Amino acid sequence: MAQGHCYFGLQGDGFAREVIFNGAQSVGVCYGRIGDNLPNEQAVVGLYTSYGIKKMRIYDPNPATLNALATSPSIELILGVPNGNLQAIVADPFNAMTWIRQNVPSHPGVNIRYICVGNEVRPTDPAAPFVLPAMRNIHDALVSANNGIEPLIKVSTAVDGTLLGSSYPTSVGSFSDSSSSYINPIIQFLAEKRAPLLANVYPYFSYIGDPVNVDLGYALFTSPGVVVHDGVLGYQNLFDANLDAFYSALEKAGASNVQVVVSETGWPSDGGMAATIQNAATYYPNFINHAKNNGTPKRPARLIQGYLFAIFDENQKGPAETERHFGLFSPNMQPKYPISSF
C-alpha cells in the first residue's frame, strides 16, 4: 500500500502552518454532503486519491459517490444506512435484500469494510426500536448475497458518548441504565459477528462541556505529561480517556472482545467556544500522529482506527454554528490548513 506523508510545521508562535500526514493508514476522513456548494462526487474521490486518503465514511448510499469510488478500490469505505431507512428495512427482509443488492454487488469495485446501520440513534429516538433488527436484516442479506458465507463486510452502528452513564474516571465507564436495554443486545450481536462498535468521539464537546476542569491542552494532545491517573493507567490526552470509557463500558457489558472503531472525531474551526483555526489545526495532526503510532492505555497493542470529521465544511448543517466548520477543506477543495498529503 502506498505511503502518504503529511507534516505539521510549527512557526515560532506555535501555530501549525503545514499539515503532512505520514503513513496514517489507520485514519480516514468522513464525507458528508449537507451543503449546497460542494464539489461533485468524482472530484471528491479525486481529492481523496490525490491526498492519499485511504478510508472514507459516507452516510447514505449515494449512487454518484459509489460510482466514483468504483474506480478507486484502494479507498476503504464505511457505508451508511440512514436513520430514516431503518423502519422500512425492518418491515420486510426483502427490503434489506434490495438495499444490499442495489448498493453492494451492483458496485463491485467499491471496497466496503463496514456497513453502519444508523448514526447516533439514542434510546428514546423513534428509530431506536429498528436499529438492531435492521442490523440483523442487513447482515442476513449480505450472507444471502454471498452464497450463504459469512461476509468480510461487517455490520455495525455508530453511537456517541450520550449512551455512557459514567465516563470519569475511565475505569468506571459504563452504559447508562436508560441506554443499557437498547445498547446491550446490539453489543451482543457485534460480539457474535466479530464486528466492531463504531463510536463518534469528540474531545471538543467534552472540553466545552466543562472548560473549568478540563484543560485545553489535554483535549488537543499537547499536554507534556500524564494529566489523569486512573489506577495503574495514565492519560495524557482526553481522546484516549473518552475512547477507553467505551472499552470499560463494553467490558461491563460482557463484551471485552469487541473493538471500537472511531467513526468520527474532529474539532471545529469557527462558530463557538474554542472553535478556532489554531485549535483545529492542532487537533487534527496530533490525532493522526497519535493514531498511527499508539493504542490507548487500556488497549496499548491495538492501533486506533479513526475517521476525521470531515472532508468539507457543510453550510447546511446545524443547528449549532460549529457544525458547519469541521472541514479539513473548504467546498472549493482548498485546504483550510496547508496539507501536503495523507
What is the mean pLDDT of each successive set of 10 residues along the chain, which is 342 residues long?
A: 30 39 74 98 97 96 98 96 98 97 95 98 98 98 94 97 92 96 98 98 97 97 97 98 98 97 98 97 94 95 96 97 98 85 60
Q: Which residues are known to be catalytic? A: 120, 264
pLDDT at 341: 57
pTM of the model: 0.92
> Under 8 Å CB-to-CB from 146, ≥6 apart: which residues?
none
CB atoms within 10 A of CB 308: 27
Check whether the bond before 169 is cis (ω within 30° of 0).
Answer: yes
CB atoms within 10 A of CB 50: 11
pLDDT at 337: 85
Helix then strand count (H, E) for the chain reads: 10, 14
At position 303, the amino acid (one-letter code) is: L
Q: Is there a contact between 27 and 57 (Cβ–Cβ < 8 Å)?
A: no
**Angle (deg, nearest 10), helices 131-145 and 177-193:** 10
pLDDT at 24: 54
At position 184, the amino acid (one-letter code) is: N
pLDDT at 167: 85
Give CA–CA dist 90/138, Å, rounded: 9
pLDDT at 1: 28
